[in-house]
Structure 1
Amino acid sequence: MSNGNNEVQSLSENINEQVLRQVRPEDRVVLDVGCGYGSLGKVLKRQRYDRTVLGIENHGQVAAIARGVLDTVFELDIEKTLPPIALGSVDCIVFDNVLQLASDPLDILRRMKPLLRPGGRVVCCLPNVQHFSTIANVLSGDVQYQLQGAFDQSQKRFFGAANIQKLFLDAGFLPGFTDAIRTQMSEELAMAFMPLVEHLGLNPSAFIDKTTISHHICVASPIPEIATTSDAITFIVAVSNERQLENNLLASPILQNDRHEIVPVIGTSSAAEALYNGLSQSARKNKLVVVVHEDVYLPAGWDDRLISGIAEAERRFGPVGVAGVFGVTRSQFGSFERAGKIVDRGSLLTTGHQLPICATSLDEVVIAFPVQNGSIVGFDETLGFDMYGSEACLAAWEADQFAVVVDAPCFHNSQAGSDLGEDFQQSAFAFAAKRLDAFPYATTCIEFAGDGQVRTW
């Protein structure tokens, strides 16, 4: 995909080193979407003599030049036509400053996903609309389109970090930021932003880090397809930040129709209170109740993955009392290990465990209760808004039910700090007082020794 302007040639001669570094030595077949004059592909072929580099370019004159460099160049509009490439034959698909030029980048990613081999990946570079220069221009009321960057004159889509992560999850990929192109921000401007950052409840250090990024480099791996289901879920969410709720949970694709029920609960002092108030307000009797944070984004197909994951866990283990997407399991040697898959803030957290797996603790970001197996277990008002995932696990095991981590990745888009604050410490103290007989014990962020001493891990 190319603008076809004279500027393109000069820009195409500049190799994106950050993208180049993400192509693995073992990637033998590489597809460069929007290959331009073939500059990136030329370097890739020099790195490995038997590497095949395919290109897609929609501008005829540019494509003709690229054919002299790459193995094959398809002259087509990727938004309308897929290249005639065998399914499951490509090791790496590169989108270097391309997806923001498309009207429907989600559709492109979904249609091109089957071209990847098992273990194949997408490497993507996208301009960051949250860059400090863009924020300054928007605040000044004078937004100028440019030849490149966040306001490229040919750009049709705009992406911040969270939008990139949501895009790839919806397309059926696990995204991880692996690099970034940065520019220096003056200390004076950074300090000037701070009152607004504080007002919005943002993490100052995370905000400064993101706003110095002009381009995000993302590497994404395909998630296996899942069979569709028809069961409905009741979602209960404690609401404290309307902006986060609207931008994340309520924006989730699976909640854009009437299949599921969502019950927002305002003004509660604990997750237990939110759960019981939500159940009393629920108009449905769904077999699955999910307590979820307001800053969680549930991508397309997430509901089917959760339902299928719980069903698979029950086939393997027995009745499930509680399930989550990230938690702690215990190895055959007795050690605690984190288990699951989740995109948490700017990081992809994924472990090598085969899922579903039995859990000793669950992260509270998503807690699911298959209510057909009995009453909801493990919520205690003294725990506030923390540690109830751990309490639910222990209570499930006591009720002869299983606690499990299932394969249903979602996005936790918390914009607050990751430090464990006073509220968490109070919850941990209440949990320790109640569950000392279960120690040693571990959650996803802290460990309790046998004597109740606590440390982060």
Structure 2
Amino acid sequence: MELKEEYINKPESYYSHKRVELYPFIPEGINRSVDIGCSNGSFSYNIKNVFNIEEVWGVEPNYFSANEAKSKLFKVINSGIEEAINELPKCYFDCVFFNDVLEHLIDPECILKKIKENITKDGFIFCSIPNILHFTTLYSVVINKDWKYENEGILDKTHLRFFTKKSIIRMFEECGYKVITINGINPHMNSKLRILNFLTANRYEEMKYLQFAILATPII
């Protein structure tokens, strides 16, 4: 099955997450934003109202999700970011959102470098990225000696890249960004990890997070 078909066969819920767990980390004062991989527009439609964002764009390769998003957002481009980036206005957006998107790209570094042209002088990039060091993944690899792709989650079969907190920071810095904050989100851990963290003064704290939320700004 081709990668395009994998996206088409995703369950409807895959394209309708509102991502309210990200709200505490979204900066105030956004006037114009673009949501890369906006799915059906639920996330951006809600933050438009919560954060009083004047103009919200979306980019979404899935035809059906993009059509639904068009009824919610100011403008939606139905294509991958690799093509859509040439249609986005320069120096225009206060914030570019990449929620669980960069791991799906063949060359996320290239996109991060190019998208800087579309961000205002004091603008931001806001991302959420899965954490490959989550204890469930490590347990599967180290204990079960297995690497099994799934339809959703950290080992989603449509993920092309995998990240740790350290590699996320390095990627942004090498692409010409200053990471303002990086926060673990969606914590999930069992009793064994709690004990391990207690005995090691939280050395393995980041293993409990399914994802990281990142706020970064281009270095001029």
TM-score in terms of structure 1 length: 0.44
Alignment CA distance shift 1:87-1:183 (3 Å): same
In the alignment, is the contact (CA less than 8 A) between 1:27 and 1:92 conserved in 2?
A: yes
In the alignment, structure 1 residue 11 sits paired with structure 2 residue 1 = no
Higher relative contact order (CA 8 A, sep 6+): 2
Q: Secondary structure at the match of 1:79?
A: helix
In the alignment, structure 1 residue 29 sits paired with structure 2 residue 29 = no
Question: Segments of 4+ in structure 1 off by > 4 A?
Answer: 189-195
Long gaps (5+) in structure 1: 196-203, 225-457
Q: Which position in structure 2 is the counterpart of 1:165? A: 169
In the alignment, is the contact (CA less than 8 A) between 1:9 and 1:37 conserved in 2?
A: no
CA distance in 2, matches of 1:81, 1:60: 14
Alignment CA distance shift 1:213-1:205 (3 Å): farther
Q: Which position in structure 2 is the counterpart of 1:208? A: 204
In the alignment, is the contact (CA less than 8 A) between 1:79 and 1:104 conserved in 2?
A: no
Q: Secondary structure at the match of 1:35?
A: coil
Q: Secondary structure at the match of 1:130?
A: coil
CA distance in 2, matches of 1:112, 1:2: 27
Q: Which position in structure 1 is the counterpart of 2:90? A: 87
Q: Which position in structure 1 is the counterpart of 2:189? A: 185
Q: Which has the larger radius of gyration?
A: 1
Instruction: Give the superposition deviation at 1:220.
Output: 0.5
In the alignment, structure 1 residue 141 sits paired with structure 2 residue 137 = no
In the alignment, is the contact (CA less than 8 A) between 2:15 and 2:40 conserved in 1?
A: yes
CA distance in 2, matches of 1:44, 1:73: 16
Q: Which whole-Å deviations, capped at 9, do the CAs of 1:61-88 have from their partners, x for residues lacking one?
A: 2111111111000112213441422211
Q: Secondary structure at the match of 1:135?
A: helix
Give the letter aligned to residue 40 of structure 1. Answer: F
In the alignment, is the contact (CA less than 8 A) between 1:106 and 1:167 conserved in 2?
A: yes
Q: Which position in structure 2 is the counterpart of 1:174? A: 178
CA distance in 2, matches of 1:145, 1:19: 26
In the alignment, structure 1 residue 69 sits paired with structure 2 residue 65 = no
In the alignment, structure 1 residue 217 sits paired with structure 2 residue 220 = no
Alignment CA distance shift 1:143-1:117 (3 Å): same
CA distance in 2, matches of 1:9, 1:130: 27
Q: Which position in structure 2 is the counterpart of 1:108? A: 111
Q: Secondary structure at the match of 2:120?
A: strand
CA distance in 2, matches of 1:24, 1:80: 27
Match of residue 120, structure 1, among 94, 119, 123? 123
* Count of aligned pairs between the two proteins: 216
Q: Secondary structure at the match of 1:185?
A: coil
Instruction: Give the superposition deviation at 1:48.
Output: 5.2
Q: Secondary structure at the match of 2:23?
A: helix
CA distance in 1, matches of 2:58, 2:213: 20
Residue identity (%): 24
Q: Which whole-Å deviations, capped at 9, do the CAs of 1:351-401 have from their partners, x for residues lacking one?
A: xxxxxxxxxxxxxxxxxxxxxxxxxxxxxxxxxxxxxxxxxxxxxxxxxxx
CA distance in 2, matches of 1:156, 1:48: 32
Q: Which whole-Å deviations, capped at 9, do the CAs of 1:383-442 have from their partners, x for residues lacking one?
A: xxxxxxxxxxxxxxxxxxxxxxxxxxxxxxxxxxxxxxxxxxxxxxxxxxxxxxxxxxxx
* Equivalence map 1:232-311=2 (5 Å): none
Bigger mean CA deviation after superposition, 186-195 or 164-173: 186-195
Alignment CA distance shift 1:19-1:220 (3 Å): same
Give the letter aligned to residue 68 of structure 2. Answer: I
Name the structure where helix makes up a greater proportion of residues: 2
Instruction: Give the superposition deviation at 1:21.
Output: 3.3
In the alignment, is the contact (CA less than 8 A) between 1:19 and 1:124 conserved in 2?
A: no
Long gaps (5+) in structure 2: none
